[in-house]
């Protein structure tokens, strides 16, 4: 880690971010607060630009004023951070995760840049050897959260009348962004993550790599399923748009709204692949085993839903997808980081599969909520059932994949010291 280099090594290495000798470094807390402010402001500006674009395209700006569009943008920013909104007295808690992804991207980008600016801060190797603790990352994350919270408080006060209960949920989402997105970004950017990871057991590191690979593969398969379903019913989606009778400008606005909900649809497709499926209203279910639907809103994205009825030809094959994904992830990781030990192969695959199931369930839980009055108060995956199915399927799949690739490597690899292979 560059912040832990000796003084002689630091003198030999120069970077644009490194302060010149005798020049005072900016305080960590100040840099972190500014980064948090910039991360929150960037997504707010993007929301404002998109809202102004939609306002102008819908009626060429004939109705309302720009400040009304900006108020809508502030509300959309809060909704993307879990505030919910009331429409004609009806609570809508469904979070458009497309906007939330923009917030995550902005948080990650600002966190990485913050971490890179902090590589020279904190104690060096001599001070660490003397027992001094390195608080650089915790202080930076605290400052980042404070800056982000300041923007959230200002936005909440500006539109507080329309979002009376936004405070608590938004603060929780800001805290989650700071801990789950900003903290890893700062740790990686500052080099601390590499040092901390090197202190972990190879089994833990490789198990984490398996979990990461499994999560990305499962989300990729779910996205492919959604795209295939939409392409098969593209005519139905076009009919929905035609029945709405939208103008070209309003059609662009409809596309923006649809894009904001695409991540929700991907996670619902993942719940479908897991087995339990999801609901699109009260007393409905969309799963490989049964499809029960009711009246639906005119949203083109809903054209991807299967026809009502009970599929009987391929539900078992669908249920094998999470297990196959976990097995493929275990094989993929262990091909790059081989081991000849059965226990290590099993722990990598099974542990990585279980962690992937937990992470996917956490993401899936964000996809649902109330989308309107009446039966539309119940929209989203059946999270508790998804948790059980994913942990079981991906844990078993990862175990099988880990043992299979271990057997293959034991029978095809050139004899080598297993401990040496573990060090790669």
SS3 134: coil
Q: How far is CA 265 from the centre of its chain?
A: 14
pLDDT of residue 129: 53
Beta-carbon contacts of 104 under 8 Å, excluding residues fewer than 6 positions away, are: 177, 181
Q: What is the pLDDT along the chain (424 residues), one digit of tens a residue?
A: 444 443 333 334 344 444 444 445 678 889 999 999 999 999 999 988 888 877 777 665 566 677 777 888 888 899 999 888 877 778 888 999 999 999 999 999 999 999 999 887 766 555 655 556 778 899 999 999 999 999 998 888 887 666 655 668 889 999 999 999 999 999 999 888 888 888 888 889 999 999 999 999 999 999 999 999 999 888 887 788 777 776 666 777 788 888 999 999 999 999 999 989 999 988 889 998 888 988 888 888 888 888 887 665 566 677 789 999 999 999 999 988 888 888 899 999 999 999 999 999 999 999 999 888 878 889 999 999 999 999 999 999 999 999 999 999 888 864 444 444 444 4
What distance in Å separates the CA atoms of residue 141 and residue 64, rounded to the nearest whole number? 40
What is the rounded radius of gyration, in angstroms, for the C-alpha atoms of the chain?
25
pLDDT of residue 257: 84
Question: What Cα–Cα distance (Å) separates residue 349 from each residue in 15, 117, 275, 318, 407?
Answer: 40, 36, 21, 21, 13
Beta-carbon contacts of 190 under 8 Å, excluding residues fewer than 6 positions away, are: 1, 3, 115, 116, 118, 119, 121, 136, 137, 140
Q: Would you state the structure tokens that stand for residue 216, as one six-digit string? A: 């990305």
> What is the pTM for the complete model shown?
0.86
What distance in Å separates the CA atoms of residue 339 and residue 352, rounded to the nearest whole number? 15
**Per-residue buried b or exposed e for 258-290, using 16+ beta carbons within 10 Å of the residue's own CB:** bebbbbbbbbbbbbbbbbbbbbbbeebbbbbee
Contact 35, 112 (CB under 8 A): no
What distance in Å separates the CA atoms of residue 52 and residue 47, rounded to the nearest whole number? 9
pLDDT of residue 86: 76
Beta-carbon contacts of 401 under 8 Å, excluding residues fewer than 6 positions away, are: 326, 327, 328, 329, 330, 331, 349
Instruction: Give the HSE-up count for residue 149: Cα atoms under 13 Å, Cβ half-sphere.
Output: 15
pLDDT of residue 14: 40
pLDDT of residue 192: 87
What distance in Å separates the CA atoms of residue 69 and residue 279, rounded to the nearest whole number? 32
């Amino acid at each position: 880690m560059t912040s832990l280099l000796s003084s002689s090594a630091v003198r030999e290495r120069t970077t644009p971010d490194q302060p010149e000798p005798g020049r005072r470094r900016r305080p960590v807390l100040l840099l972190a607060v500014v980064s948090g402010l910039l991360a929150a402001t960037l997504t707010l500006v993007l929301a404002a630009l998109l809202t102004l674009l939609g306002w102008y395209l819908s009626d060429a700006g004939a109705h309302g004023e720009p400040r009304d569009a900006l108020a809508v943008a502030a509300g959309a920013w809060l909704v993307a951070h879990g505030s919910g909104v009331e429409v004609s007295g009806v609570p809508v808690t469904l979070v458009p995760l497309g906007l939330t992804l923009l917030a995550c991207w902005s948080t990650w980008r600002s966190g990485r840049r913050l971490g890179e600016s902090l590589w020279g801060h904190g104690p060096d190797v001599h001070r660490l050897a003397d027992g001094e603790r390195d608080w650089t990352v915790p202080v930076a994350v605290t400052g980042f959260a404070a800056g982000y919270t300041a923007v959230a408080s200002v936005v909440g006060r500006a539109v507080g009348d329309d979002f009376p209960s936004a405070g608590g949920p938004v603060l929780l989402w800001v805290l989650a962004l700071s801990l789950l997105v900003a903290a890893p970004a700062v740790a990686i950017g500052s080099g601390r993550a590499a040092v901390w990871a090197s202190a972990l057991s190879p089994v833990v590191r490789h198990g984490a790599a398996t979990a990461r690979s499994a999560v990305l593969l499962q989300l990729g398969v779910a996205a492919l399923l959604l795209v295939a379903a939409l392409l098969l019913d593209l005519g139905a989606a076009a009919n929905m748009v035609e029945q709405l009778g939208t103008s070209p400008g309003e059609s662009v606005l409809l596309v923006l709204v649809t894009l904001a909900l695409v991540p929700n649809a991907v996670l619902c497709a993942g719940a479908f692949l897991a087995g339990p499926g999801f609901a699109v209203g009260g007393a409905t279910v969309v799963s490989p085993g049964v499809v029960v639907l009711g009246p639906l809103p005119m949203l083109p994205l809903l054209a991807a839903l299967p026809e009502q009825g009970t599929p009987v030809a391929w539900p078992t094959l669908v249920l094998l997808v999470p297990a196959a994904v976990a097995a493929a992830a275990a094989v993929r990781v262990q091909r790059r980081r081989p081991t000849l030990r059965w226990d290590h192969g099993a722990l990598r695959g099974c542990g990585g599969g279980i962690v992937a199931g937990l992470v996917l369930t956490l993401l899936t839980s964000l996809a649902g909520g109330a989308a309107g009055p009446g039966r539309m108060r119940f929209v989203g995956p059946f999270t508790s059932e998804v948790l059980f199915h994913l942990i079981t399927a991906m844990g078993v799949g990862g175990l099988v994949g880990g043992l299979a690739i271990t057997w293959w490597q034991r029978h095809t690899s050139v004899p080598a010291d297993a401990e040496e292979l573990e060090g790669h």
